[in-house]
Structure 1
Amino acid sequence: MSPMPSNLYPISRELWEQVVTIFQYFPLVAAIQLFVSYYPAGKTSIESRLNLPGKQAWISMEVPGFMVVLYCLVSIPSKNAEITSSISECVTFAWNNLPIENIILAALFVIHYIYRAIIGPLLNPSMSPIHISIWISAIIFQLMNGISIGGFLAGYGPAITADMTKSAILPGSNKSQVDWLQIASRWRRELGIFIWALGFATNIYHDEVLRDIRRPIKKEGVNPEEAEKHKIGSLGQEKIGKQISGKEKHCVNKLYKIPQKGLFQFILFPHYLCEWIEWSGWWIAGGSLFFPARTFLINEITTMLPRAIQGRNWYIERFGKEHLAGRRAIIPGLL
């Protein structure tokens, strides 16, 4: 068996810098979604031989991100210290030598993705097939994001501890000024973590609202009368009947309704907005020097915004604009 390439164990600084640079241009790729409606996953999943089962595909394409972050946190510090005896010693060394701020930020990232990549899809009553093209692009995104964030938190990035405020302290500053800056830094971290937690909790809440819609049809499906009752829109009673009876290949029994709870009263994709809030808080917690968090947030927005806009058009086509009752796509009253 051939050994792992030297720039992968651990992720080398050169590789990390290359990935960080390239990943900043991801919005240019994501912007294509504004002009192309083709997105073979979720509500807009298509029938194809290249489809993968929804839950398995989602889990396998989302897990690599946080696994790469953990890999970087364990391998980079221990490799630099030439500790290679066992995984447990590498973990212990990283735990004892990485700044606690880095560990906390990594923990928040991992917590989110354990929910998003594993718990979330397992809780979903059903998931539409995902085309292999979406699966591959998602894996590439997760690997690049994991390297960008993991390499930074493992030591390749500048320090984001409370001492970073010293860079803003001018020569001759008195002790009170130093103390004030350190207090401000601590408040900034705590505020960021609070915003992260708020976004994470509301993200889960709105995911659960969507699951509540799907649960009644998990076992038996919904008859055409029930579908008509809940306004399935242009799909029509006949189409719904075919989907539920299983006469069309690769279809997932779904009942689509306009959610009514929480921020769904004002927008159609509040779970997207809440995730943006979550990662905004994460960036705030890490400070302005935590540039991989900024890149991640920008990439998330540029990826999800076109989906939300096209998703609203999907709702209009199925339900009619009058049934949206003024709901916007993702920003109440604006967009």
Structure 2
Amino acid sequence: MAIIQNWLPPSRENWDFICTVWAYFPIITTAQWVLDWYPQGKTSTESRWNIDGKIGWATMESAGFITLLYIMYALPRELGIGELPWGNWTMAGCFVFHYLYRALLSPLYLNPSMSPMHPLVWLMAFLFQITNGISIGGYLAGYGPTTQHYWAARSEYMFVGLVIWCWGLLGNMFHDDDLREIRRAANRKQVREARESGKPIQSVDKVYMVPKNGLFKYVLHAHYLCEWVEWAGWWMIGGWAFHPGRNFLINEITTMLPRALQGKRWYEKKFGKEKLEGRKAVIPGLI
């Protein structure tokens, strides 16, 4: 049953239109190169309209994989496809696994705290996820390869891509946890001080330090870099013809790169350039 007729799941014509528009998303991100206003995370601002960081992150990031799963369920029925190939489900599984970690496990259970976000940030991210979910979901649910032979013919590329995807995901998790440890250490310190003084425990939402482990020795946003590696491997699994995967990777880079450069300026202002020891923003030795 369609949620929105011809759009969710999308008709072939509407899916082609969405994919075409989605390829031009980097144009929208040019605003981030000239604006430092990004009211979320370490650059969040005080506002009566702010959304709780954990709830906001979980709801906006979940939209993509939920959309993809719904389309994987509904579209094949509309197209008369009895069973999707294992390769399609492998790629969908990788996508869903990533977002179960990033959208649910990470904010709701692993992160000690998260700064609030502005509703505009939430809305833009939500639309990003919905559009991306439709683009990828349509391809994997019937508008892309629908035979086992397609995947069997490129099993070597799939293996290499899966290895790259796994290393990118593990790197992303490792560096995420290094950032969490800063908050956890601050929380432990404040709990100890509160017990000794008898005062209430203060929030650790705004406790920041320069991360130093792993690739953080070379760049300030190593978790961004690892995520790009992860999705580059995922695109390799699908192959050159997997244009939704290519668009996803490019759109992530074009929106996260200016954010990383903005973050580097924030670190320089807060801690001083000398404390950063020549670290780049996101790509070692380059940017």
TM-score, normalised with respect to structure 1 = 0.78
In structure 2, the residue matched to 1:135 is: 122
In 2, distance between residues paired with 1:196 and 1:283?
A: 9
In structure 2, the residue matched to 1:324 is: 276
Amino acid at match of 1:314: W
Contact 1:160–1:287 (8 Å) recurs in 2: no
1:259-315 deviation digits (Å, cap 9, x = unpaired): 111001111000000000000000001101111000000000001000111101110
In structure 2, the residue matched to 1:314 is: 266
Offset at residue 79 of structure 1 (A):
2.4
What RMSD, in angstroms, separates the aligned Cα atoms of the two structures?
2.3
> Which structure 2 residues correspond to residues 15-94 of structure 1 after superposition, within 5 A?
15-81=14-80
1:125-165 deviation digits (Å, cap 9, x = unpaired): 00000100000000100000000000000011245855379
Contact 2:79–2:142 (8 Å) recurs in 1: no
Q: Are residues 1:288 and 2:274 paired?
A: no
Offset at residue 11 of structure 1 (A):
2.4
In 2, distance between residues paired with 1:50 and 1:117?
A: 22
Residue of structure 2 aligned with 1:191, choices 133, 155, 160: 160
Structure 1's 223 and 141: CA in aligned 2 closer, same or farther, altered over 3 A? same
Offset at residue 256 of structure 1 (A):
1.2
In 2, distance between residues paired with 1:153 and 1:124?
A: 32
Offset at residue 245 of structure 1 (A):
8.5
In 1, distance between residues paired with 2:90 and 2:61?
A: 21
In 2, distance between residues paired with 1:326 and 1:160?
A: 50
In structure 2, the residue matched to 1:177 is: none
In 1, distance between residues paired with 2:150 and 2:83?
A: 16
In structure 1, the residue matched to 2:197 is: none
In 2, distance between residues paired with 1:192 and 1:129?
A: 36
The percentage of aligned residue pairs carrying the same residue is 48
In structure 2, the residue matched to 1:105 is: 91
TM-score, normalised with respect to structure 2 = 0.91
In structure 1, the residue matched to 2:12 is: 13
* Structure 1 ranges of 4+ moved more than 4 A: 158-162
Amino acid at match of 1:212: E
In 2, distance between residues paired with 1:161 and 1:195?
A: 23
Contact 2:67–2:133 (8 Å) recurs in 1: yes
In structure 2, the residue matched to 1:87 is: none
In 1, distance between residues paired with 2:39 and 2:251?
A: 20
Contact 2:41–2:116 (8 Å) recurs in 1: yes
Amino acid at match of 2:158: R
Amino acid at match of 2:259: R
Contact 1:16–1:148 (8 Å) recurs in 2: yes
Offset at residue 216 of structure 1 (A):
2.3
Structure 1's 265 and 16: CA in aligned 2 closer, same or farther, altered over 3 A? same
In structure 1, the residue matched to 2:139 is: 152
Amino acid at match of 2:185: P
Residues paired across the two proteins, number: 279
Structure 1's 281 and 4: CA in aligned 2 closer, same or farther, altered over 3 A? closer
Structure 2: runs of 5+ lacking an equivalent? 194-199
1:34-67 deviation digits (Å, cap 9, x = unpaired): 1100000000000011100000000000001000
Structure 1's 274 and 132: CA in aligned 2 closer, same or farther, altered over 3 A? same
Structure 1's 164 and 264: CA in aligned 2 closer, same or farther, altered over 3 A? closer
In 1, distance between residues paired with 2:41 and 2:50?
A: 12
Contact 2:221–2:281 (8 Å) recurs in 1: yes
Which is greater in Rg?
Answer: 1
Residue of structure 1 aligned with 2:212, choices 229, 248, 260: 260
Structure 1's 315 and 5: CA in aligned 2 closer, same or farther, altered over 3 A? closer
